[in-house]
Amino acid sequence: MGIAAERRASSVSQIVLKIGSLSGIEEQLLRSAYPIAASGAVAAHAELTIERTAIVLHCEQCKRETRLRVNRLRCAHCGDYRTRLISGDEMVLQRLELENANPLSDTGQGSKSAKGR
Ligand SMILES: [Zn+2]
């Protein structure tokens, strides 16, 4: 976790991943693998949020964009198949929330004398 180290964060509280529907990444697999990958790291206690991105095509014919949810890779406007995939196969680290914990030097010595008058 180079980002966290650079910013001197002691822990990462949230990780937001964006995964394209065509990326071939199984969300469930990622979720089950994540705690193993993060264990012992600065992100061990981070909350993992996974967002799905839409499949976006750019049509070479009419130059318009089509958003898809299923694997029907044709332009919705003119029906042409000569399209270019703009979005849908990516995995992006969208956001990383960092936490700066207090230094640990104060812990362990809780002997505040509760003297009355
Ligand atoms: Zn088109």
**Predicted confidence (pLDDT) per residue in 48-101, tens digit:** 888 888 889 899 999 999 988 666 778 989 999 898 988 888 888 888 777 765
CA of 24 to the centre of ligand 1 (A): 26
pLDDT at res. 78: 95
CB atoms within 10 A of CB 14: 14
101's CB contacts (< 8 A; 6+ apart) are: 10, 11
Q: Lowest mean pLDDT of 1-5, 65-69, 111-115, name the range.
A: 111-115
pLDDT at res. 42: 75
CB 89 within 8 A of CB 23: yes
| Bridge partners, 93 (sequence order) | 17
CA of 103 to the centre of ligand 1 (A): 58
CA of 90 to the centre of ligand 1 (A): 23
Alpha helix (H) residue ranges in the chain: 2-6, 27-38
Q: Which residue has the higher pLDDT, 19 or 99?
A: 19
Q: Flag whether pLDDT at 104 surpasses 80.
A: no
* Full set of structural domains in the chain with CATH: 3-99 (3.30.2320.80)
87 alpha carbon, distance to own chain's centre: 16
pTM: 0.54
Consecutive H or E run containing 85: strand 83-87
Q: Flag whether pLDDT at 109 surpasses 50.
A: no
CA of 67 to the centre of ligand 1 (A): 12
